[in-house]
Amino acid sequence: GLDFLMLSQHPLDLPPKARNQVTLTVAFTSQEPGALEWFRSRGLDADEIARLRPASLRQPPCGEFLVRSQSGAGYRGALYPTARK
């Protein structure tokens, strides 16, 4: 198969044929109803996505994200998990 990385702030703007090939989804915070519904269809918790702390807060933990693979495996993380010393 062919590996391909695609990034979008608006997943619904991606062509449907491309969206149907997604094998790994990484979600940062979003309040956009269409995007939240798409994440929900991928098995992610849309309410949890809406509560993720954005990186712009600059108060750790921030830059939080959720990851879910096509197989259902997933985890949660943050770009800035702890305060700098």
What is residue 82's predicted lDDT score, i.e. its pLDDT?
79
Angle at 43 between CA 38 and CA 49, to 5 degrees: 65
- Give pLDDT, residue 48: 95
Confidence tier at 55 by pLDDT (50, 70, 90): confident
The CB-side HSE value for 53 (13 A sphere, CA atoms) comes to: 15
pTM for the full model? Answer: 0.81
Quick: pLDDT tens for 8-50. 888 888 888 888 888 889 999 999 999 999 899 888 999 999 9
